[in-house]
Amino acid sequence: MSDLVQKNRVAPNNQRGPAARRADFDDLHTEPMHIQMGPSHPAMHGTVKIELDLEGEEVIDADVQIGYLHRGFEKECETGFLYQNIPYTDRLNYSSPVLNNVGYCLAVEKLFGITTPPRCQFIRVIGGELSRMADHMLALGASAMELAAFTPMLYLLEARELLLDQIDAICGARVTTNFTRIGGTLDLPEGFAAFAVERLDRALRLTADADKLLTDNPIFRERMQGTGRMAGKDLLAWGVTGPVLRAGGVPYDVRRATPYLIYGDLDFDIPIGEHGDNFDRYLVRMEEIRQSCRIVKQCLERLPDGPVNSDDRRVKWPPKRKVFGQMEELIDQFKLVLEGGYPPAGEVYHAVEGANGEVGFYIVSDGSGRAWKMRCRSPSFSNMSPLKHMLIGGQLADVVPTFGMMNMIGGECDR
Amino acid sequence: MSTEAPPSDAEKPQLSPLMVKVNARLAPLILEHREFRGDDRIHVARENILAVAGVLRDDPELAFDLLLDVTAIDYYGQPDDFELRREVWDRDHVTMRRLPRRRNLMALPEKGPHPRFAVVYHLISTSHLHRLRIKCRVPEDDPRIASLTPVWPGANWLERETWDLYGIRFEGHPDLRRIYLYDEFEGHPLRKDYGKLDEQPIQAYVGPGAKEPRRPE
């Protein structure tokens, strides 16, 4: 954080607190007002409804109501084969789908006991970090736009588009990526490294421009500093993870805490905040974009050669040429498609660091190709639960930045 | 029964460092301990869940400060752990999957002798970085368990979700409403006897702009 940011940490109006603000209006007669914000409201991106009780401009009670995007993800996954569920995970957090794909496949691979080849792990990290950057850019851009800063959003969306170009080059889709397979992934196209580095640099320049426009902007800081504040201890007790928790000063990141893929060998920093307010959440996300960029560049430099798919016959389908020519491969393909492979009976939980926090998949297998129980631990859901306590005592106008910085994604929260 | 816990521990010479610590503090309350792919899990009687959770959070050696997840499993006619008694579930399992998935057409297996539900908690300690899973069996005729909101306030929404989708009541929860579905929803959709294609009755709209009910003539 620059010195300028540290100076005047809390904007004057927010520093006075609700009691002092209320004293200004002691002689005014006001009645509590009940308003419904959402589910279809420009600032409630992702459908969610907040029922607010206001006294003047101050929020005295709030009830966050979710479920408008509930699609029965878990029920659907329990009726489909394990390999058929990968596209559903795209639709969980649709602004960073690769991270969900990777998380799901890692959980299934843990159930099977498969380790993927090194090249596959590097490619998964590249895709995941590109996706994380894109998610943060969308979150920051949308929040800035809700605070009437339209230009940074255009910058950030352009930068995001440059990252989606790279994901598009790998898997052929911008948003519904379907990036991984169980035990493998898609290989990088020819000349991807040069293509990626050029676009990453342009995206970083655009992000730096947006950073300059926002971070030292007095209006933006007035809206963000000191609002939606919650201490790190309380955030932990409420089960909050991800950038919101790290902005409260708790350095919990799954990539460091329980490293998966190749994160243990990579060199990157975990930014943490100290005040736990919206401005720190903004700064942590901004810094994570740069750190993710570092990770992608390291991976591109160190990318090993070799196969990208595991050879395990329980999950790898035989090549088509052999299926049409040989009996054993034909039977193999037939059994794998119609019965979904046979994982050992047991239960696993595997967590990855998603863009909003810990994305965990809990799979209970009865030994058949379908999961008996499939559970997604989604960060948005847990992050939204203490939102009520961040809003109470603040002003109505603070609802918008606080909600924006929680970055609730409807598909992930409601599943 | 809690008195049967020590033999299962003695059979396993390779306990993880976490389980050594957990056993030292909670051995009388742990029904059994299992390990699969490096995930430790302990089974606890549902009467003891609050006591166990309190120790897990407050003990400085364990310090489970982050409750990641609360969910339930519906073992309809199945044993507790699939990895143990394969022959028990094999026959029913096939019957249940082959038939159409409409509830009125589906032949459900017989209810087994085991309690039907299991409530599952996932914990992590952000200081020691170890993970633990707790399972509590809950019978079908009395689906109740103590709420963990006094220990971790973050259990609030997670327990509401479990109530919504599985119909397990959490005693002492401050605000146990449905969270995803509407109040008039019949049944709990993640239970195994709720078919994927089951339909709900249409609800009359009540609220601003609703039409007056037609008077009997």
CATH of the domain at B51: 3.30.460.80
Q: Is the pLDDT of residue A61 over 70?
A: yes
CATH fold label, A73-414: Cytochrome-c3 Hydrogenase; chain B (1.10.645)
Q: Range with the lowest mean pLDDT among A42-51, A94-103, A189-198, A292-301?
A: A42-51
What's the CA gap between B111 and A367, in Å, rounded? 20
* pLDDT tens-digit map of A210-227: 998 888 888 888 888 888
The mean pLDDT value for A322-339 works out to 87
ipTM summary value: 0.84
Residue B182 inside a domain? The answer is: no
Q: What percent of chain A has pLDDT over 90?
A: 34
- B198: chain A residues, CB-CB within 8 Å: none
Q: From chain B, pick out residues whose CB is under 8 angstroms from the CB of A366.
A: 78, 82, 89, 93
**Do the Cβ atoms of A377 and B122 come within 8 Å?**
yes
Q: What does the mean pLDDT of chain A come to?
A: 86
Higher per-residue pLDDT: B78 or B130: B130
CA distance A12 to A16: 7
Question: Which helix (H) or strand (E) segment is A99 a member of?
Answer: helix A97-112
Best B41, B82, B98 residue to mutate vs chain A (most A CBs within 10 Å): B82
Which residue of chain A comes nearest to B133, CA vs CA? A349
Mutate to test the interface with A, among B67, B102, B124 (most CBs of A within 10 A): B124
Residue type, A102: V
Please state the rounded mean pLDDT for residues B28-51. Answer: 87
CA B30 vs CA A1, A320, B10, B23: distances in Å: 48, 51, 14, 8
- Please report which residue ranges of B59-154 form alpha helices under DSSP H: 86-98
What pLDDT does A360 receive?
A: 92
Contact A322, A254 (CB under 8 A): no
The answer to whether the beta carbons of residues B33 and B8 sit under 8 Å apart is yes
Contact yes or no for A78/A371 (Cβ under 8 A) = yes
Mutate to test the interface with B, among A34, A235, A363, A373 (most CBs of B within 10 A): A373
CA A328 → CA A277, A325, A340, distances in Å?
A: 61, 9, 17
pLDDT at B98 over 50: no
Quote the percentage of chain B above a pLDDT of 90. Answer: 24
Spatial CA neighbour of B156 closest among B170, B138, B143, B142: B170
Q: Of B89, B133, B155, which is closest to A349 when you measure between CB atoms?
A: B133
Question: Residues of A with CB below 8 A from B89's CB?
Answer: 366
Instruction: Establish if A252 touches chain B: CB-CB under 8 angstroms.
Output: yes
pLDDT band of residue A283 (cuts 50, 70, 90) is: very high
Which residue, B142, B145, B134, is CA-closest to B57? B134
The answer to whether the CB atoms of B41 and A75 lie below 8 A apart is no
- B 114-133 → A contacts, CB under 8 A: 120, 122, 124, 126, 129, 131, 133
**Cα(A272)–Cα(A281) distance, rounded to whole angstroms?**
9
pLDDT band (50, 70, 90) for residue A79: confident
Does B73 sit within 8 Å of A239, measured CB to CB?
no
pLDDT for the residue numbered B88: 41
Cα–Cα distance list, A286 to A21, A222, A279, A380, B16 (Å): 32, 18, 11, 19, 39
Q: Alpha carbon of A55 to those of A17, A18, B192: distances in Å?
A: 15, 11, 46
Q: Which residues contact A345 (CB under 8 A, 6 or more apart)?
A: A365, A366, A367, B82, B83, B86
Query: Are the CB atoms for A365 and A224 separated by under 8 Å?
Result: no
**What is the structure's pLDDT at A20?**
67
Q: How far is CA A384 from CA A64, A162, A212, A413, in A?
A: 8, 30, 29, 8
Q: For residue B181, list chain A residues with Cβ-Cβ distance below 8 A.
A: 67, 70
Which residue is it, tokens 């299926």?
A323
CA distance to A208, A287, B216, per residue, from A127 (Å): 22, 19, 64
Where residue A328 falls among pLDDT bands split at 50, 70, 90?
confident
pLDDT value of residue B141: 87
| Residue A243, pLDDT score | 92
pLDDT at A132 over 90: yes
User: What is the pLDDT, as a whole number, of residue B104?
Assistant: 41
Rounded distance, CA B7 to CA A66, Å?
Answer: 46
Evaluate whether residue B66 is within a structural domain. Answer: yes
Q: Where are the alpha helices (DSSP H) in B138-201?
A: 155-166
Select the residue of A67, A72, A239 nearest B154 (Cβ to Cβ).
A239
pLDDT tens-digit map of B166-210: 999 999 999 888 899 888 888 898 888 887 777 888 877 777 777
Q: How many CA atoms lie within 13 Å of A196's alpha carbon, on the beta-carbon side?
A: 25
> Looking at the predicted structure, is the pLDDT value of residue A174 above 90?
no
CB distance A382–B71 less than 8 Å?
Answer: no
| Parallel, antiparallel or unpaired: strands A184-185 and B30-36 | unpaired
Q: Dihedral of CA B161/B164/B170/B176: which sign? A: positive
CB distance B117 to B143 below 8 Å:
yes
Note whether B37 contacts A: Cβ–Cβ < 8 A.
yes
Q: How far apart are alpha carbons A367 and B88 in whole angstroms? A: 13
Higher pLDDT, B6 or A292: A292
Q: What tokens were used for A183?
A: 């035990």
Phi, psi (deg, nearest 5) at residue B128 = -95, -15
Q: Give the structural domain span for B151.
A: 2-171
Secondary structure percentages of chain A, helix, strand, coil, to 5: 50, 10, 35
DSSP category for residue A231: -
Residues 6+ apart with CB under 8 A from A334: none
Enumerate the residues of chain A whose CB falls inside 8 A of the CB of residue B86: 345, 367
Number of domains in chain B: 1
Q: Is residue B205 part of a domain?
A: no
Is the pLDDT confidence value at B147 over 50?
A: yes
pLDDT confidence band for A346 (50 / 70 / 90): confident
Q: Which residues of B touch A72 (CB under 8 A)?
A: 189, 196
Residue B22 forms part of a structural domain: yes
CA triplet A346, B65, B132: central angle to 5 degrees?
Answer: 15
Look at residue A154 and tell me whether its pLDDT is greater than 90: yes
- Name the residue among A66, A75, A236 with its Cβ closest to that of B65: A236
The answer as to whether B81 is a domain residue is: yes
Mean pLDDT over residues A357-379, rounded? Answer: 88
Q: With 0-12 CB in 10 A as exposed, 13-18 as middle and 19+ as buried, what is A139?
A: buried
The whole-angstrom distance between B209's CA and the closest CA on chain A is 17
> How many angstroms separate the CA of residue A186 from the nearest CA in chain B?
26
Are the CB atoms for A179 and A187 separated by under 8 Å?
no
Are the C-beta atoms of B159 and B166 separated by less than 8 Å?
A: no
Mean pLDDT within A71-75: 89
Facing residue for B82 by CB, picked from A240, A365, A386: A365
Q: Cβ of A72 under 8 Å from any chain B Cβ? A: yes
Tokens of A136: 């943060």
Peptide bond connecting A39 to the previous residue in cis, omega within 30 degrees of 0: yes
What pLDDT, on a 0 to 100 scale, did the predictor assign at position A276?
86
A100 neighbors A179 (Cβ within 8 angstroms): no
Is there a contact between A385 and B71 if contact means CB atoms under 8 Å apart? no
Backbone Cα Rg of chain B: 21
DSSP SS3 for A151: helix
Distances (CA, A) of A249 to A243, A263, A275, A289, A413: 10, 22, 7, 18, 24
A295 or B90: whose pLDDT is higher?
A295
Q: Is A264 on the interface with B (CB under 8 A)?
A: no
Across the interface, whether the CB atoms of A239 and B66 are under 8 A apart is answered: yes
Looking at CA atoms only, how far is residue B216 from chain A in angstroms?
Answer: 35
Q: What is the mean pLDDT of chain B?
A: 78
Nearest CA-CA partner of B139 in B171, B173, B113: B113
Are A349 and B131 a contacting pair at CB < 8 A? yes
Query: Inter-axis angle of helices A192-215 and A118-146, to 10 degrees?
Result: 30
To the nearest 10°, report the CA torsion of B12, B15, B19, B25: 70
Contacts of B157 in chain A (CB under 8 A): 381-382, 384-385
Tokens for A347, please give them.
Answer: 């239960």
Instruction: Answer whether A240's CB lies under 8 Å from A298's CB.
Output: no
Nearest CA in chain B to A74: B190
Chain A nearest-CA distance from B28, in A, is 25
In terms of pLDDT, which residue wins out, A138 or B200? A138
Are the beta carbons of B158 and A382 separated by less than 8 Å? yes
Range in A10-14, A100-104, A285-289, B79-83 with the lowest mean pLDDT: A10-14
Cα A381 versus chain centre, distance: 12
Residue B212 lies in a domain: no
Note whether residue B165 is domain-resident.
yes
- Partners of A382 on chain B (C-beta within 8 Å) are 68, 154, 157-158
